[in-house]
Amino acid sequence: MPVGFFVYPANFCRLAAMSDFTIQAVSVDHAAGVSITRHAHDSGQLSIVLRGTMAVTGEEGLWLAPPGLAVWVPPEVAHDAQYSESSSLIHIHFSQALATQLPSRCGTVVVSDLLRELGREAVRLSGTGGDSATVELIAQLMVLHAQQPRSGPELFVPHGRDRRLLFAIDFLRQHPGANVNLDELAALSHTSSRTLARLFVSETGMTFGRWREHLRVVCAVDRLARGQSITQAALELGYQSASSLTTLFTRLLGAPPRRYMEQMRQRDGEASGRLVA
């Protein structure tokens, strides 16, 4: 994918650099195919997805956030981001003091209607230098909502540290529809199938087969969000029919693809589209 660079408005950069800021927020639009290279922030960042999808990759793995989810990245945590379709989101930067009240690891946050509107108000106040008491109240409310335990499965694909496992994971991420077996993948990774199987379990907490299922479901959500049909997504991800992908999707995410995507669009306040079977 092409690499894109986003330049924050000058007033945001100036305010975010101040040592006494509580939160600063900016709305961002990215074109399809934009990739933000590996970087880290002094502050904590919560990215609320309004339209499209955001994929964040850190040392621990890959998180995908469609509308209705946000990605939390703690201070000083290196990460990169990809936008496979035209996307709109709100980046909210929390001071290091506030960030200590939130998780020390990356993760997704369920975006309630209130959290989304608080984000929009934070953008407005960041542009006008709003009343500090109001900003403080908004910040505390956002922290409270971000602290709520999430329900349901997370669109997360864990990585590992061993170079052989990372090679295998990188291959599968680039070719999610490749129906290579464990022996073939081990040969590509210059290790034995027994060693690779052990690494998947010890470093991702999943067997090779289960890990690939999770990867494919996350990839399916991304493809469906881009407007692909269920059948097209299934064939690209190595399945012979839409029903095979639907069965896996329902088992892992708790709803069939059509219903899951309709719920995603409803969370974004957009009219539900029709998926083509």
**Does residue 13 have a pLDDT over 50?**
no
With a pLDDT cut of 70, the percent of the chain lying above it is 86
The band of 201, judged by pLDDT with boundaries at 50, 70 and 90, is: very high
Confidence of residue 269 (pLDDT cuts 50, 70, 90): low
- Mean pLDDT, residues 184-188 taken together: 97
| CB atoms near residue 122 (< 10 Å) | 28
With b for 16 or more beta-carbon neighbours within 10 A and e for fewer, the 45-73 pattern comes to bbbbbbbbbbbbbbebbbbbbbbbbbbbb
> Domains, the chain, ranges and CATH?
10-146 (2.60.120.280), 159-267 (1.10.10.60)
Question: Rounded to an integer, what distance in angstroms lies between the CA atom of residue 181 and that of residue 112?
Answer: 41
Helix (H) or strand (E) holding 84: none
- How confident is residue 265, by pLDDT bands cut at 50, 70 and 90? confident
Looking at residue 85, its pLDDT comes to 86
Residue indicated by tokens 């793995």: 61
Q: Are 122 and 25 in contact (CB under 8 A)?
A: yes
Query: CA-CA distance, 87 to 236, in Å (whole number)?
Result: 23
pLDDT at 152: 63
Quick one: pLDDT band at residue 89, thresholds 50, 70, 90?
very high
What residues pair up with 35 in beta bridges, in sequence order? Answer: 82
Mean pLDDT of 70-91: 94
Average pLDDT, the chain: 87
pTM: 0.84
Give the pLDDT confidence of 202-224 residue by residue, as tens digits. 999 999 999 999 999 999 999 99
CA-CA distance, 182 to 204, in Å (whole number)?
16
Q: How many CB atoms lie within 10 A of CB 10?
A: 8
**Which has the closest alpha carbon to 267: 86, 112, 63, 118?**
112
Mean pLDDT of 155-175: 96
Residues composing the chain: 277
CA distance 83 to 223: 12
Q: Are 21 and 96 in contact (CB under 8 A)?
A: no
109 within 8 A of 143, measured Cβ to Cβ: no
Maximum separation of any 2 CA atoms in the chain, in Å = 62
pLDDT tens-digit series, residues 97-143:
999 999 999 999 988 889 999 999 999 988 776 678 888 899 999 99
